[in-house]
Amino acid sequence: MVGLSVSTGPLAGVKVIELAGIGPSPFACMLLADMGADVLRLERGNPDAEKVVSADTLNRSRPSVAVNLKSDAGRELVLRLSEQADVLIEGFRPGVAERLGVGPTDVHARNARLVYGRMTGFGQTGPLAQRAGHDINYIAVAGTLWPLGRAGERPAPPMNLVGDFGGGSLYLVVGILAALWHARESGEGQVIDAAMVDGAASLASMLYSFRNMGFWRDERGVNLLDTGAPFYDVYETSDGGFMAVGAIEGPFYALLLEGLGLSGEDLPRQMDREGWPHLRSRFTEVFATKTRDEWTAIFEGVDACVTPVLSPSEAPTHPYNAQRHVFSTGDAPVPNPAPRFSNTPSMVTAPAYTPGSGTREGLSAWGLSAEEIATLQAAGAFA
Higher pLDDT, 296 or 7: 296
| Alpha carbons 231 and 300: distance in angstroms, whole number | 18
With a CB cutoff of 8 Å and minimum separation 6, the contacts of 52 are: 353, 354, 357
DSSP SS3 for 368: coil
CATH of domain 242-308: 3.30.1540.10
Residue 160 has pLDDT above 70, yes or no: yes
Of 175, 211, 61, 196, give the one whose Cα is nearest residue 122. Answer: 196
| Alpha carbons 173 and 255: distance in angstroms, whole number | 40
Res 331: pLDDT:
79
Question: If you average pLDDT over every residue of the chain, what do you get?
Answer: 96
**Pairing, β 242-246 against β 306-308:** antiparallel
Residue 383's pLDDT band, with cuts at 50, 70 and 90, is: confident
DSSP SS3 for 62: coil
Crossing angle of the two packed helices 250-260 and 276-287, in degrees rounded to 10: 40
Residue 278 has pLDDT above 80, yes or no: yes
Residue 2 has pLDDT above 50, yes or no: no
Catalytic residue, candidates 134, 182, 193, 318: 134
Res 6: pLDDT:
62
Q: Is 46 left (phi over 0), alpha (psi -120 to 50) or beta?
A: beta
| Fold observed for domain 15-204+331-378 | Rossmann fold (3.40.50)
User: What burial class does residue 99 get, using C-beta atoms within 10 Å of its C-beta: 0-12 exposed, 13-18 middle, 19+ buried?
Assistant: exposed
pLDDT, mean of residues 334-338: 96
Res 8: pLDDT:
80
DSSP SS3 for 35: coil
Residue 32's pLDDT band, with cuts at 50, 70 and 90, is: very high
pTM score = 0.95
User: Over the stretch 284-323, which tens digit does the pLDDT of each residue have?
Assistant: 999 999 999 999 999 999 999 999 999 999 999 999 999 9
Single-letter amino acid code for the residue at 103: G
Please give the radius of gyration of the chain, using alpha carbons only, rounded to the nearest integer: 25
pLDDT, mean of residues 121-144: 97
Q: Enumerate helices (H) and strands (E) in the chain, giving the number of each.
A: 14, 11
| Alpha carbons 100 and 115: distance in angstroms, whole number | 18
Catalytic residue, candidates 135, 164, 198, 226: 164
Single-letter amino acid code for the residue at 188: E
| Alpha carbons 308 and 319: distance in angstroms, whole number | 12
Largest CA distance in the chain: 83
> Cα 4 from chain centroid?
23
Of 352, 315, 354, give the one whose Cα is nearest residue 333. Answer: 315
Of 28, 45, 39, 29, give the one whose Cα is nearest residue 4. Answer: 39
> For the sheet containing 242-246, what is the strand order?
232-236, 242-246, 306-308
For the chain, give every domain's residue range: 15-204+331-378, 242-308
In this structure, the number of other CB atoms found within 10 A of the CB of residue 60 comes to: 22
Residue 1's pLDDT band, with cuts at 50, 70 and 90, is: very low
Residue 5 has pLDDT above 60, yes or no: no
Res 3: pLDDT:
47
Q: Of all residues in the chain, what percent carry a pLDDT higher than 70? A: 98
User: Over the stretch 75-92, which tens digit does the pLDDT of each residue have?
Assistant: 999 999 999 999 999 999
**Alpha-helical segments (H) within the chain:** 24-34, 72-82, 96-100, 104-108, 135-142, 171-186, 196-203, 205-212, 250-260, 276-287, 292-299, 319-323, 359-365, 370-378
| Alpha carbons 194 and 174: distance in angstroms, whole number | 10
| Alpha carbons 225 and 204: distance in angstroms, whole number | 12
Active site residue 134: yes
